Structure 1
């Protein structure tokens, strides 16, 4: 669904942050993205999410050349890509339910068409009793699961998760990983950026290792 061919990225006239990156994300695949801090994992995820354009090379997204995608087409394509950010990006003045439902509201959908889906998804991630709670009251793990639910509500074809277990204990990390595995089994391609080797050892998946701006693949 997404293909990178010799992709490079630099900011301004500075050195390349990413160099000659080539890989693909097949439909229904599960992949880990690892590497030391500062290696560019988050930058690579931003390229995948179409939040950045490469300096050189070819990126193909759902069969479209990245350079030929018009600005007004980007929102439609991004709806096919769910993203879980490190900082969760929940809105403190909205309840858990309202945060998860926000993508639907932005699209102008009537609440009656998605309310049951939001409630069922929150139950699935273990937040069925926290629907009407504001984010400041939630624990770090609960915020993480709310962010995951929001990323999943539009049933994306690809899910990108940036260090999704970085701020939770090992028990909750395993629970979150099981959520990603179940999502993958339902047909969504999953890419998890992490430095947690123990987490990666629990899944038989491709590992993409980013170091010094270059990517190596380990099947």
Structure 2
């Protein structure tokens, strides 16, 4: 099933949701963090992103979420060259992306329910149209009895699950999840991964960054591997 590290991940770029062409990134005058990264992510696909700590996984995620721009090379997202986007266009594209950050980014003055429903409120939806869906999702991630609690009261694992629910509630076209199972037990990790897989089956492309090799081994999915700033593929 899995190929060697030998070839760069340059396959599958035609008609891709995401396309990187010879992308490099450096911070300031330092060495490149990413080097000649070329790959494509197809619509309705699921893949893991893995590699040693400090290899560039989070940097790649930030490029995909448009919070960084490459030093060189071409990135297209939803068919748009990201270098040509103005701030308003970036904001519009980001609404099509769900993201789970390692630092959760919950708003401390909002309850768990309010944090999870925030993306829908920003879109101007009435609470009556989403209340049942938010409640069901919170129950699925094990927070049904914590929906009216403020984030400072939540444990690290509970905050992580709230962040996952917030990323999923808008049914994004593209989901970026940075170590989403890092603070939960193995049973809940498998349950959360099944949730990502079901979301993928409904049409969302998923890129899930993880160090958990045992978890990845349970699923037959493409793996993107970052090593020494270069990206390789396991098919």
Task: Return the TM-score normalized by structure 1.
Answer: 0.94
Equivalent residue, structure 1, for 2:216: 200
Residue 111 of structure 2 corresponds to residue 64 of structure 1: no
**Alignment gaps of 5+ in structure 1:** none
SS for the counterpart of 2:224 is strand
- Once the two structures are superposed, the pairs formed by residues 33-52 of structure 1 within 5 Å of their partners are 33-52=49-68
Please point out which of 33, 41, 62 is paired with 1:25: 41
Please point out which of 183, 195, 204 is paired with 1:167: 183
Task: Return the TM-score normalized by structure 2.
Answer: 0.88
Equivalent residue, structure 2, for 1:190: 206
Equivalent residue, structure 1, for 2:135: 119
CA distance in 2, matches of 1:169, 1:63: 38
Contact map agreement 1:81 1:158 (CA 8 A) in 2: yes
Contact map agreement 2:116 2:162 (CA 8 A) in 1: yes
CA deviation string 1:122-181 (max 9, x = no partner): 233332232212223333332222111111122100110101111222122111111111
CA distance in 2, matches of 1:104, 1:204: 33
Contact map agreement 1:158 1:189 (CA 8 A) in 2: yes
- Once the two structures are superposed, the pairs formed by residues 41-120 of structure 1 within 5 Å of their partners are 41-120=57-136
SS for the counterpart of 1:114 is helix
CA deviation string 1:177-219 (max 9, x = no partner): 1111111111111111111100110111111110111000010
Q: How large is the RMSD of aligned CA atoms in angstroms?
A: 1.4
Which consecutive segments of 4 or more residues in structure 1 shift more than 6 A?
none
CA distance in 1, matches of 2:129, 2:195: 24
Residue 162 of structure 2 corresponds to residue 146 of structure 1: yes
CA distance in 2, matches of 1:17, 1:141: 30
Contact map agreement 1:31 1:206 (CA 8 A) in 2: yes
Question: What number of residue pairs does the alignment pair up?
Answer: 219
CA deviation string 1:53-80 (max 9, x = no partner): 1111111111111112222111110011
Equivalent residue, structure 2, for 1:210: 226
Equivalent residue, structure 2, for 1:11: 27
CA distance in 2, matches of 1:44, 1:203: 23
